[in-house]
Amino acid sequence: MKALALTLALIVSIFTANASDAGINKKGKRAKSKTEQLKAAVTSQVNKHIFYPVQGESKNIEGQADVMFQVMPAGDVQVVLIQTKNPLMKKFIENQAKKMKVGKDEYVAGEIFKYRFVFKAKS
């Protein structure tokens, strides 16, 4: 009975070790999942396209917005929801989001990511 228990323990430990090594890349770091890779790609697009507008101070584009983006099959990033009290801020985010696109090999169609933007004029 002890031999059976030891054999099962050995099999389980080998399986667990192999399963944990599957997520390791060549540099010894944990490989990112497709969702993590996509999140990084979307965040890169957000940082590139959604910024405090230079003309914001004169147009009063200030405030906070909670935004949900969805990645479409062709790699386009679409706005699902924008919650803000400032209509100028909403329009700015919608226009900038139209420019966002991730590589087709990075996407998982249908994934939704949430972001919070806070625009403040420089004092």
Q: Where are the domains of the chain?
A: 1-31, 32-119
Bigger pLDDT: 114 or 7? 114
Q: Which CATH architecture has domain 32-119?
A: 2-Layer Sandwich (3.30)
Average pLDDT over residues 66-79: 91
Checking if the pLDDT of 68 tops 90, the result is: yes
CA angle in degrees (0–180, nearest 5) for 104-106-107 = 75
pTM: 0.67
The band of 6, judged by pLDDT with boundaries at 50, 70 and 90, is: very low
The phi and psi torsions of 70 (rounded to 5 degrees) equal -120, 135
